[in-house]
Amino acid sequence: MRVLVAGAGVGGLTTAIALRARGFDVEVLEAAPRPRTEGGGLGLAANATKVLTALGVDLVEQGVGRVCTSFCLRTTDGRLMRDLPIGSISAELGSPVVNVRRGDLLALLRDSLADTPVRHGARVTDHRVRRGGVTVTLADGGTRTADVLVGADGIRSAVRARLVGDQPVREHGYVCWIATAAFEHPRLPVGGAAHYWGSGQRFGLIDIGGGHVYWWGTRNVASPVGRRTAGKPAVQAAFAGWAEEVRQAIAATPEADILAVPAQDRPFLATWGAGPVTLVGDAAHPMLTSLSQGAGSTIEDAHALAHHLAARDDAAEALRRYETDRRDRTRGLVAASRRLSRVEQLTNPLATRLRDLVIRHAPMSAVREQNIAPMRYDLPA
């Protein structure tokens, strides 16, 4: 069976790895003219690292990223609100949480594909289902044919648009600035991650190894144009007066390395495919970053898709089984991310005070369950 994968991000590359491991003939089509190196960092939860290890991609063994050994929530001025039991959660689930530069993860995934072709500058613009397969049209007028097409081309997926129409994304009223930088600070230990919560804005500071950090900052912004502005002075102004390590991390970052990403997702899509065509990751179920499960759920999709395609001779039936298998879990993650995002970005003084009290005094059992639940995932038998 020949499979075309549209998109060479985390979802597309992992899908190709999973399919190749099952013996499929795979080609990846990527719109960008060259391999991606930008994009800040990622927190890969235990479910994601579990699946990657099963696919032969062991970040710890290959020295990519940093295992997260401590995770705390702090006030804007750096006072500790809560230590989260990330170590015991990883131990229970049998797989680590790993924080990694996105470009390093993509490079590792490309290396793991070995001789699988990844065609850059090959933007998918259309596809047509034909007898026994699908024909894909590229922006340069070229075509490719295959038995199956997998849309892994992100939140603005061309494959999705062809399936269900070109629908607008949904914005949630805040910007997320993201960057990586060479930076160390005594308050951020090796393997440490810290989130700082304020009123209508937050900041994350995460060790990704090699003397580098991944950081992100959010802020409620009414103007859609403002949600796409990444000027360093604006970021510094937003976090003026915050903890020393927050201000120093921003100061240590070259302006060109700071990206502005509006907080976006989509209404959950009930139908992910038709015939020999399906979707994975952000093309199917884009979600806000609050649960750190965007990449993790995408990696799960890739493994499940390969599992179902290998189990049945009828490709269309296998794809519908895959979609049914994944729909409830991903719907729950999208909804939970949206709920948590609303709590994180609160601006009402009374509501934020109550939120912070809950963070400080909630029973540890409840805190632990809230954090471990999204990471529970069993590999298909």
pLDDT at site 185? 97
The string of pLDDT tens digits covering residues 358-371 is 999 999 999 999 99
pTM of the entire structure? 0.96
Name all domains of the chain by residue range, CATH numbers in brackets.
2-169+266-375 (3.50.50.60)
pLDDT at site 380? 84
CA dist., res. 40 & res. 100, Å (int): 9
| pLDDT score of 229 more than 90 | no
Residue 93 Rama label (left phi>0; alpha psi -120 to 50; beta): alpha
Q: Are the C-beta atoms of 57 and 148 separated by less than 8 Å?
A: no
User: Which of the residues 196, 214, 322, 377 is marked catalytic?
Assistant: 196
Query: What is the residue whose two structure tokens read 């500058």?
Result: 121
| pLDDT score of 300 more than 90 | yes
The string of pLDDT tens digits covering residues 189-225 is 999 999 999 999 999 999 999 999 999 999 999 988 8
pLDDT at site 225? 82
SS3 assignment, position 305: helix
- Annotated active-site residue 174? The verdict is no
pLDDT at site 223? 86
pLDDT at site 39? 77
Q: Are the C-beta atoms of 47 and 373 separated by less than 8 Å?
A: no
CA dist., res. 205 & res. 194, Å (int): 5
| pLDDT score of 177 more than 90 | yes
Mean pLDDT in residue range 1-13: 97
Tokens representing 182? 């060479």
The string of pLDDT tens digits covering residues 270-294 is 899 999 999 999 999 999 999 999 9
Confidence of residue 34 (pLDDT cuts 50, 70, 90): very high
* Angle (deg, nearest 10), helices 294-311 and 315-344: 170
Mean pLDDT in residue range 341-347: 98
CA dist., res. 308 & res. 323, Å (int): 10
Tell me the pLDDT of the chain averaged across its residues. Answer: 96
Confidence of residue 377 (pLDDT cuts 50, 70, 90): very high
The string of pLDDT tens digits covering residues 233-245 is 999 999 999 999 9
pLDDT at site 311? 96
The string of pLDDT tens digits covering residues 115-158 is 999 999 999 999 999 988 999 999 999 999 999 999 999 999 99
Mean pLDDT in residue range 4-18: 98
